[in-house]
Amino acid sequence: MSTVTPGIIEARAAAFRECFSHLRAEIGRVFVGQPALVEQLLVCFFCQGHALVEGAPGLGKTLLIRTLSEAVNLTFARIQCTPDLMPADVVGTNILTERADGRREFVFERGPIFANVVLADEINRATPRTQSAFLEAMQERRVTVFGLDHHIEEPFSVFATQNPIEMEGTYPLPEAQLDRFFFKLIVQTPDFPDLAEIMARTTGSVRPTVTPRFGPDVVREAAALIRDVAIADEVTTLVLRLVRATHPDAPDAPASVRQFVRYGASPRGAQAVILAAKTLALLDGRYHASATDVRRVAVPALSHRLILNFQGEMERASPLAIVGDVVGAAS
Amino acid sequence: MPQSDAALLLSRLTRFRRRATLALWMHDTVPATAGLVLVAEAMAVWQRSLPDRPIETAAALLAAACAIGLTSALVRRPTLRLTARAVDERAHLRDRVVTAFQCRAGSDAISRLVLRDAIAHLDSVSPAAAFPLRLPRAVPTIGALAVGVPLAVAAVISLLPPSPVRSALPSTLADAMPPPGARIERDAAMSDRSGRRSTATADARVTTETIPPSEVERATQPQAGRPPSSTSAATPGSPQPDADTPAGGPGTRGGRGPGQSVGTAAPADAGIAAAAAGGPAEGRGGVGAGRGGAAPADSTAGTSTGDRSRDGGYAAAWAAAEAALPQERIPPRLREYVRRYFSAIRPAAEQP
């Protein structure tokens, strides 16, 4: 018999909502505009997923991630990916040290991947070998060095950024690694009022500061609570239909999928959609996910998992639009 | 209390399902009514006549449509899960109810919260609002058809030429029949052993009166030298098919043993057949009474005075029919029908 009562669940849900609101407010003090992007980033964070943040340079991607970690009292690490970045620079390595009694031994020196929030800046500039160093950490939440497993403490989220413009000297992320990202978030260029607000905040003498609150426990509890949220079979079926419809050989795939997509979303995509939908439900004060929640999160959860075919690449078909077609067709 | 919450949810859902069934019934009754009206109208066109009792017919059609609609609604009645889905969609409850229905057996805290949330939202929705009793959109069209088509049918029927049979029957049948109430005495051979004797009036109504058993015994004695049935090969006591007398109820088939069968319809049949042929009907004296068991209007062994009176009437009726048959308005199919009929009821004395 579970000792968790509805009252405890309600208290945890209230703490989650308060933490979410706090983060949104603190990020809003530093990062101007784009509330949808912020909400999706927080949803991904509370689901303990990893996000690929794509945007032109100078749009505040790094600031956004750093603010998130500061506002909730988590450890933060930034990895600036370059072609000469080595896997050991990410996961850590064994270092020969001398003990007090004079004996020497190898001690594992943890890399930046062991932080609660990891920012892999311009991840597509790292070599595939280094990129693959993120794979195990992101999926298994552990790293293996010299045959020894080192577990990464939760909460743990990797936020990787990439520049969609400069492709020279980059190593586009392979599909296997793209699939490990929970969401792909697009940072838009701010509109005129937001730009004016950014100038006002960043060119004066007063710099906005973030008030840290809560801690890793709240995030862990929230992540566990999200997984407990109920979901009806009908809603799960909708998610599966969405995922199936991203495959060109599926009978209910829309025309854009048949025309431009070579391979559709994986089961990880369905997992991401369901977890994100549960998070939105909890934010809404419900303890069950609905079809509306699923439709809201389908685009960021599935768009980066589509592999376009030659025609799609040539015609620069937008995966966001294709997933939008899928959602429309499934509705 | 998860159990009580689950029971509460189920009771709420049952209310909604009842209402959904009612809405379905209403929705299905309308097309059923239209379908039955159309069928009735098609039958009216086929028979070229309107129902004799239009109000009763309409009421029967409506009752049948209601029954069909109810049956359809009960068959198509949604399950509780489908009801939950429908309530979610119609009341914009964002999958609350269907999730709660799925979680109703769960005892964890989340399931209880989901159940409570769903019940609280269900209480704010009335079944009538979720499942309003709406008529189908096609009701105006169906209504116009229901009014317009009968009028058109009536107009078509009035323009169509009358059926040759029906036009021939009423004018001559009245002449062929004796006035109502005229009693035709039945032969004692028509009586059964229980002592009840059948009598018939010309309008084919059958009455019975009690006669002494001695008279019955005397009348039912088979006469030597006369076969029990001159045309039928039926064995005594076995019912005899009356396929040869399709013009009407040929009589009461007894099958109760030799000499017990009582036939009553021969007069009317003879009259109808003669009337159809355009001649006088004089075959009303013939009553099948015999040992063959079945006593249709065939020529069963007639040992009675009834047979004798029929013998005379038969000749006259057949002569009149034969004279009328060549008329052009008698369809060839009916001519053969009349010939077969007279052949079937031919008395034994006139057998070739």
The reply to whether residue B99 touches residue A288, judged by beta carbons under 8 angstroms, is yes
Distance (Å, whole) CA B43 – CA B60: 15
Q: Across all residues in chain A, what is the average pLDDT?
A: 90
Q: Are A26 and A67 contacting, i.e. CB atoms less than 8 angstroms apart?
A: yes
What whole-number percentage of chain B has pLDDT above 90? 10
pLDDT at position B351: 67
B2 contact A CB<8A: no
Q: What are phi and psi of A98, to 5 degrees?
A: -110, 125
Average pLDDT of the segment spanning B64-79: 84
Contact B106, B123 (CB under 8 A): no
The pLDDT tens digits of the residues spanning A154-174 come to: 899 999 998 887 777 788 888
A248 preceded by cis ω (within 30°)? Answer: no
Which pTM value belongs to this model? 0.66
Q: Cβ A287–B94 below 8 Å, yes or no?
A: no
**Beta carbons of A4 and B109 less than 8 Å apart:** yes
For B325-336, b/e burial (b = at least 16 CB within 10 A) is: beeeebeeebbe
Average pLDDT on B176-186 reads 45
- The CA–CA distances, whole Å, from B135 to B21, B29, B132, B143 equal 14, 9, 9, 11
Residue type, B219: A
Q: How confident is the model at residue B332 (pLDDT cuts 50, 70, 90)?
A: confident
Over its C-alpha atoms, chain B yields an Rg (Å, rounded) of: 33
Helix (H) or strand (E) holding A108: strand A104-110
Query: Mean pLDDT, to the nearest integer, of B253-277?
Result: 42
> What's A230's DSSP letter?
E
* Exposed/middle/buried for residue A127 (C-beta within 10 Å: 0-12, 13-18, 19+): middle
Residues with Cβ < 8 Å from A45, sequence gap 6 or more?
A51, A68, A117, A155, A157, A219
Q: Which residues in chain A have Cβ-Cβ distances shorter than 8 Å to B117?
A: 286-288
| Helices and strands in chain B: count of H runs, count of E runs | 12, 3
Residues of B in contact with A1 (CB under 8 A): 107
Whether A5 has its CB under 8 Å from any CB of chain B: the answer is: yes
The b/e string for A280-312 (b: 16+ C-beta within 10 A; e otherwise) is bbbbeebbbbbbebbbbbbbbbbbbbbbbeeeb
Residue B290 has pLDDT above 80, yes or no: no
Nearest to A235 among B95, B100, B109 (CB): B95
Do residue A287 and residue B114 have CB atoms under 8 angstroms apart? yes
Find chain B residues with C-beta within 8 A of A228's C-beta: 108, 110
Pairing of strands A157-162, A51-54: parallel
Query: Tens digit of pLDDT for each residue in B114-134?
Result: 999 999 999 988 888 888 887
End-to-end CA distance of chain A: 39
| The pLDDT value given to residue B161 | 67
Least confident of A68-77, A162-171, A221-230, B90-99: A162-171
CA–CA distance from A321 to each of A53, A299, A303 (Å)? 18, 8, 8
B271 three-class SS: helix
Measured in angstroms, the CA of A257 and the nearest CA of chain B are apart by 28
Which one of B79, B83, B93, B94 makes the best mutation probe of the A interface by having the most chain A beta carbons within 10 Å? B94
Residue with tokens 């079944």: B127
pLDDT band at B191 (very low <50, low <70, confident <90, very high): very low
More confident residue, A135 or B311: A135
Nearest-angstrom CA–CA distance, B39 and B84: 38
How far apart are alpha carbons B269 and B299 in whole angstroms? 13
Instruction: Report the gap between the CA of B1 and the closest CA in chain A (Å).
Output: 11
Tell whether B108 lies on the interface with A, counting CB pairs under 8 A.
Answer: yes
Q: What is the mean pLDDT of chain B?
A: 66
Interface touch A286/B96, C-beta < 8 Å: yes
**What count of other Cβ atoms lies within 10 Å of the Cβ of residue A328?**
10
Note which residues in 29-88 of chain B have CB less than 8 A from chain A: 85
Cα separation, A77 vs A69, whole angstroms: 9
Please give the Cα distance from B300 to A252 (Å, whole number): 76
Candidates A4, A5, A231; nearest CB to B99 = A231
- Across B90-98, average pLDDT: 90
Nearest CA in chain B to A285: B117
Residue A320's pLDDT band, with cuts at 50, 70 and 90, is: very high
* CB contact (8 A) between residue B113 and residue A4: no
pLDDT digits (tens, 9 = 90+) for A69-128: 888 888 999 999 999 999 999 999 888 998 888 889 888 899 999 999 999 998 989 999
